[in-house]
Structure 1
């Protein structure tokens, strides 16, 4: 009998759920219910189903779920025949016990065979369970698996959830499924908007759910709710002559705060526009969840849009409330900005000497000095004025001492840009102080100016070197120094900024600087310990400070740590992993060169000869790996035999001549394209020439030829990785 398909609705009604956790909770409930159905073999039609949610509810709505499981077939293996039957063919106690446990006569058991012989087996078929009977258990499992780090308890109950649960809708088709969770019993009665429709909402069947709630002033579809917010906010901003700034993160939070959004246009005093607009935007978005309004040039205006969870009959009062709550934060920002201006950037910079950056790495002022040295050196390598790079680096952390950044940490660099400009620094230096933090987050652009890129690179070299030298390498999910993010930011800036820099060299430079800082820190601790011991009447020798250089193992680790971040970066660009490995195997010192090689290997892989040459190179590498002793550095032409061997030697010599200049110019596409033409000679050589012959002189000469070929084939990438 074929099970009928019926729509399923589960709605868990709660008090207002945590804003940032809401989408994840909804997704987890949705996935848990789907997994529970699939695990039990219950057929379902997902259609376009997705998690539904609002601040007061989590819902799963599926267009089709089978009314029952399919027949459940079971197979239990019993004893082998030599154990199950005695010499007369009668059942032993082992077989009788097995049959009794299965609830059948032993003669009703079937037989099966495996590699050990023939054995008895009990096979049974029983009807599938009704889906309605399984749903309560599925729901409990799904809820138990939800990521709720701090469950809330209510009343005198011993159970907990993200927020107190007040109702449960559980419908399969038109019927209520009997069940309960968190002290509630299942029903078909949902709830409407807390203010617009504060009463129960009858749900006749799952397909009516979304429309029934819409009629009760609840938009339970997050996409529909989000679209309404955007539409209303944009219309309100346009009516005021501006353009709404709709940040994706802010929009998502507002979407999780309202069930029936209504935009309210508001204003603030023009005097606050003297404050850096980033500070005002930050407090509007982060603290109040408002949408700033910009002019046509992207400058902040005195307008903003709030989104209410109600269509108020007195919008003017709602507006006053929004304007009232924003004013104190704006006043604080203005006060901090004015006071910072009085103090000045130079005075702020002086204060960094009293701020610890990291216990083993000294103060922030020490860090600034290290970054300035690196920035000056990097600038000289990439055609940027070293004096400007040093000046920008010297001022790059001054705003950490400002009142504005203390109140709005996200303005690091941005505040510094404003204060540097006011202090009379060049626009290049001021912008670089801000750009040094770019990319600030995943998907953010790298610094747009070369000076900003230099500062961003120097900063990240210091962070990585300091993190490794101070023993702060990431472990598992823990990365307190954000070394992974800094490594990717460094790599992206070099590649996307088209900066050809020897990464290994600057890792060494950065490590030398931080190694000195760690040594000084260790000496300081020894001095303090000796002073303390001396105060107790004990003399303790301090010894001398040992100034080391960059540990070679750290250099290798940091380089590999950076290139490991590139693995994901290129995977996002659909670069096959074997192509990435082929370049990574060569460890190019320049990441821009790494990028050039990777692009070239991508073009090479498209050629019809690529697979065969990659396989040949793999074969060559395997042959060369097994060689004991030294392979001659040159090929002796007098030992070459006419035919395939001579042809390959001539072809390799010509290919090397043809690609020398292109290799110097890093024209890797040309190099690989020329090498692809060696395929006929390589194939002919392996078809007709034996390498490991008894004559050692001939053998070594052939090995020298293969080594020469392998060196040139591997000059751009380890193409053997392309061989499947």
Structure 2
């Protein structure tokens, strides 16, 4: 076995930072799959990437020649020969495809029968010939949201590919990838005169890049380097930077030769609301804010340059000029917006379309005001303040600040509301109305925020369904699935006793009363919610049979569904749960075999045997004890109490003959069993759990 180190580097034009990590990971995974398909062995693979390169370094790859074993299964012997023993057309076609005659085929047997088999051995192409094909296939299989075509070759990738390096130790693997010849010259940093860096051996990667021009190809090392530098700089001015993983990851994907610098901005900009100031510095300019020990923003920022230069003073001045311009814009918009109160922007919403056929943002605001009063009854949020929050909820959308920085919607509303002396809960609700904004995002903290978020999301969702903008299997342009999950998460995690059926009907009524009579529209929306909720539990790892059992009852109150799923998941882990479930199965099977429906009350006078008397009293006591528990939806406590039924049910089956010769006694005993099933059916359909 010949083991070598393989290096592959794909030099490109500047790749988009937000897709860079995913692209590198896909390249790595695709390449592994391709190697596996050719049965090529190796020790490990490490992937590297910068904005201008994707690279793989494979340790101890087996480069020895390989013999491939070919096994091609043919038709069964029954189908391969006719009654006279002559090959059928199916057998002939198969043999022709394999390039053999029927006589050259062997046979093999398994449990299902006997089959024709073609076996052969052939020499696999040398690894030097295979590698360019494998690399190009791995690159082409990368999912790229938006790709580019370039030059006359019309090749397609995220950005034009300009350079290919394929090295096996010190040997250059000759070949073409995307019509570019491979060699042993790495792509250099964009800012250097020398366009290439010669590499003599695959082992030298990635250290040679750093030694030549401070290029850090390893993403994790790049992140650590940046983190260390910004912390060191911040400490020098007695400050610190807050953890911001998304900013750190984006900046690490924007540079390949990182160098951190400290810059300043004018103190007057500290008057800009903190969130807006930080947004401008971090989101707009991709720089790091610095805070003092009281968590106040200092008039400094740290930026990451993509080059190590002696002219660093000019670079700092350049960044400061750009930052000054951006903060001046923010200051101007803020000052201009504050000439009137937030509420005064309300009428301007009449000129802004919410959605075709759904009216303006002003009309949406009016619907939210009505809807939130109804939601507030269940969320226990203050009705008056909730209504006020709904009235102000969309006002910031027409401010200069949000028009310039759309991502600040809600945050701007919160600051402006506080400036107008609105209560803190109302102001915070304006920010929280858009939460959760993505999978796993935090939920609103305030009760008003929860109410407003639910009202806003259901208004959008029911409105979109009413005009036919319904998500398909592969398209959801209005993110309605995300809105549905957001509503469900708030209801469940904040324990708001809302019924989806009532919520949908209330929302549809506010659009048009006729929609509440449209059962097809209502069913589409409720089914959309139920499917989302079912998938949500499945993704969280709950037992699929428990989910199916609860959902089979077509419940529409998320809290009730959640409590039952939680209780059954807990119950399933109890040592006696299997015994109880098997008893339910046995009782159900007995009752299903009856020709007539079992109903009516138990005749106490017909209960004679000790075991059935004990079971009867246990059921009676169980019913009394759990009556309030069922009302309060304390299903876990109910299921714990079922332990008391285990032994009486067992003794009943062990000692009592159900099919008594006296038909009245037989029916009485069946009614007793039916009463047990009625108790358990209040919780779920246990037939899914057998």
Q: If the length of structure 1 is used for normalisation, what is the TM-score?
A: 0.86
1 CA distance for matches of 2:554 and 2:117?
A: 59
Is contact 1:615-1:720 (8 Å) kept?
no
Which structure 2 residues correspond to residues 259-274 of structure 1 after superposition, within 5 A? 259-274=256-271
> What's 1:314 paired with?
311
Shift of 1:225: 0.8
**Secondary structure of the structure 2 residue equivalent to 1:244:** coil
- The partner residue of 2:38 within 28, 37, 40 is 40
> What's 1:156 paired with?
152
Is contact 1:457-1:490 (8 Å) kept?
yes
Is contact 1:508-1:550 (8 Å) kept?
no
2 CA distance for matches of 1:721 and 1:463?
A: 36
2 CA distance for matches of 1:15 and 1:415?
A: 38
Shift of 1:431: 1.7
Shift of 1:39: 1.1
CA distance 1:249–1:81, shift in 2 (3 Å): closer
2 CA distance for matches of 1:215 and 1:31?
A: 29
> What's 1:531 paired with?
none
Shift of 1:688: 6.3
> What's 2:470 paired with?
473
1 CA distance for matches of 2:97 and 2:39?
A: 26
Which structure 2 residues correspond to residues 217-296 of structure 1 after superposition, within 5 A? 217-296=214-293
Shift of 1:175: 2.2
Residue segments in structure 1 that go unaligned for 5+ positions in a row: 517-546
Shift of 1:74: 2.4
Which structure 2 residues correspond to residues 362-381 of structure 1 after superposition, within 5 A? 362-381=359-378
Is contact 1:583-1:598 (8 Å) kept?
yes
> What's 1:528 paired with?
none
Shift of 1:396: 1.0
CA distance 1:335–1:218, shift in 2 (3 Å): same
Does 2:642 align with 1:675? yes
2 CA distance for matches of 1:17 and 1:27?
A: 14
CA distance 1:80–1:356, shift in 2 (3 Å): closer
**Secondary structure of the structure 2 residue equivalent to 1:124:** strand
- The partner residue of 1:422 within 415, 419, 424 is 419
Shift of 1:414: 1.1
Residue segments in structure 2 that go unaligned for 5+ positions in a row: none
> What's 1:585 paired with?
552
Shift of 1:322: 0.7
1 CA distance for matches of 2:418 and 2:648?
A: 66
Shift of 1:572: 5.7
> What's 1:168 paired with?
164
Does 2:179 align with 1:212? no
**Secondary structure of the structure 2 residue equivalent to 1:431:** helix
Which structure 2 residues correspond to residues 659-670 of structure 1 after superposition, within 5 A? 659-670=626-637
> What's 2:460 paired with?
463
CA distance 1:720–1:676, shift in 2 (3 Å): farther
Is contact 2:15-2:52 (8 Å) kept?
yes
2 CA distance for matches of 1:261 and 1:717?
A: 59
> What's 2:397 paired with?
400
CA distance 1:151–1:487, shift in 2 (3 Å): closer
Deviations 1:604-640 (A, max 9, x none): 1111111232243345456656766643142333445
2 CA distance for matches of 1:717 and 1:192?
A: 65
Shift of 1:445: 1.8
- The partner residue of 1:140 within 136, 139, 158 is 136
> What's 1:59 paired with?
55
**Secondary structure of the structure 1 residue equivalent to 2:401:** helix
How many residue pairs were aligned? Answer: 688
**Secondary structure of the structure 1 residue equivalent to 2:339:** helix
CA distance 1:641–1:510, shift in 2 (3 Å): farther
Deviations 1:324-348 (A, max 9, x none): 1122222222222112111322220
- The partner residue of 1:575 within 521, 534, 542 is 542
- The partner residue of 1:15 within 13, 16, 37 is 13
Does 2:489 align with 1:500? no
CA distance 1:700–1:560, shift in 2 (3 Å): farther
Is contact 1:675-1:713 (8 Å) kept?
no
CA distance 1:611–1:162, shift in 2 (3 Å): same
Which structure 2 residues correspond to residues 383-398 of structure 1 after superposition, within 5 A? 383-398=380-395
Deviations 1:154-197 (A, max 9, x none): 44333243223222111234322221123322222213333368
Shift of 1:357: 1.6
- The partner residue of 2:574 within 590, 602, 607 is 607
Task: Please say which of residues 32-41 and 296-305 is displaced more in the overlay.
Answer: 296-305
Deviations 1:10-49 (A, max 9, x none): 1111222222222222122212211111112222333xx3
Shift of 1:645: 4.7
CA distance 1:112–1:603, shift in 2 (3 Å): closer
Which structure 2 residues correspond to residues 510-549 of structure 1 after superposition, within 5 A? 510-516=507-513, 547=514, 549=516
**Secondary structure of the structure 2 residue equivalent to 1:677:** helix
Is contact 1:84-1:94 (8 Å) kept?
no
Does 2:293 align with 1:326? no
Is contact 1:191-1:198 (8 Å) kept?
no
1 CA distance for matches of 2:26 and 2:156?
A: 17
2 CA distance for matches of 1:79 and 1:591?
A: 54
1 CA distance for matches of 2:246 and 2:576?
A: 49
2 CA distance for matches of 1:312 and 1:35?
A: 42
**Secondary structure of the structure 1 residue equivalent to 2:642:** helix
Shift of 1:223: 0.8
Is contact 1:43-1:69 (8 Å) kept?
no
Shift of 1:395: 1.1
Is contact 1:279-1:408 (8 Å) kept?
no
Shift of 1:398: 1.0
Task: Please say which of residues 660-669 and 396-405 is displaced more in the overlay.
Answer: 660-669
Shift of 1:387: 1.0
> What's 1:358 paired with?
355
Shift of 1:110: 4.0
Deviations 1:534-563 (A, max 9, x none): xxxxxxxxxxxxx45354454454344334
**Secondary structure of the structure 2 residue equivalent to 1:549:** helix
Which structure 2 residues correspond to residues 423-438 of structure 1 after superposition, within 5 A? 423-438=420-435
CA distance 1:560–1:613, shift in 2 (3 Å): farther
Does 2:181 align with 1:185? yes
2 CA distance for matches of 1:682 and 1:474?
A: 50
Task: Please say which of residues 559-568 and 445-454 is displaced more in the overlay.
Answer: 559-568
1 CA distance for matches of 2:465 and 2:663?
A: 49
2 CA distance for matches of 1:8 and 1:249?
A: 32
Task: Please say which of residues 63-72 and 352-361 is displaced more in the overlay.
Answer: 63-72
Does 2:676 align with 1:709? yes
2 CA distance for matches of 1:698 and 1:472?
A: 60
**Secondary structure of the structure 1 residue equivalent to 2:542:** coil
**Secondary structure of the structure 2 residue equivalent to 1:655:** helix
Shift of 1:52: 1.1
Shift of 1:295: 3.1
Is contact 2:378-2:496 (8 Å) kept?
no
2 CA distance for matches of 1:250 and 1:64?
A: 36
Is contact 1:632-1:701 (8 Å) kept?
no
2 CA distance for matches of 1:99 and 1:476?
A: 42
After superposition, the CA RMSD in angstroms is 3.4
Task: Please say which of residues 640-649 and 156-165 is displaced more in the overlay.
Answer: 640-649
1 CA distance for matches of 2:346 and 2:147?
A: 45
- The partner residue of 2:24 within 17, 23, 26 is 26
Q: If the length of structure 2 is used for normalisation, what is the TM-score?
A: 0.90
1 CA distance for matches of 2:414 and 2:344?
A: 15
**Secondary structure of the structure 2 residue equivalent to 1:599:** helix
